[in-house]
Amino acid sequence: MEPRIISKPAFAVVGLLQHEEGNSRPIESLWSTLGARLSEIRGADPDVGFGVHLFKQDAHRYLVGFAASNGGTIPTGMTSHQFNAQDYAIITHQGSLDEIDDTLHAFFKQWLPGSGYYQDGTCYFEVYDDRFDPGSPDSIISIYVPVKKNAI
């Protein structure tokens, strides 16, 4: 595994938030509901979805959404998460969603400790574009983890 490091400008993701895994409606249901309301998100690109993992203390929240242009109001019942300009390590996961934890484990436990980088922040996000096919072993998801270079 050799992640790519990029600089990404600031952007916002607008969508629906699941507060706790297993404590809310299934993620597939959130995506379905969001798809039906896509036109409410100003400037959203319907071909690229975001799955944003947000961690705070012992809580895990998951935001399904789309990047939105600045200046719009957040539709009723939706939320927004603002990302500052940031460097990211991009990991490519190929295969079933059931195996994504293996990819994340390899990144966080094997690559990151010896990489010269550290995770910067308490979130990461998945990008679902035209390479994502949930029923295919060739399905691809890009995972973006905010990173900073270690001080020497």
Q: 115: which residues sit within 8 A by CB, 6+ positions away?
A: 3, 89
Mean pLDDT of the chain: 90
Q: Which residue has the higher pLDDT, 38 or 57?
A: 38
H helices of 56-131, in order, are 100-105
pLDDT above 80 (res 29): yes
Q: 70: which residues sit within 8 A by CB, 6+ positions away?
A: 12
* SS3 call for 105: helix
Please check whether residue 18 is in contact with residue 44, taking contact to mean a CB–CB distance below 8 angstroms: no
pLDDT at residue number 18: 87
pLDDT at residue number 56: 86
- What is the architecture, at CATH level 2, of domain 4-149? Alpha-Beta Barrel (3.20)
- pLDDT band with cut points at 50, 70 and 90 for residue 135: confident
Residue ranges of domains in the chain: 4-149
- pLDDT band with cut points at 50, 70 and 90 for residue 71: low
Residue type, 44: A
Please tell me the pTM assigned to this model.
0.91
| Alpha carbon distance 68, 90 (integer Å) | 21
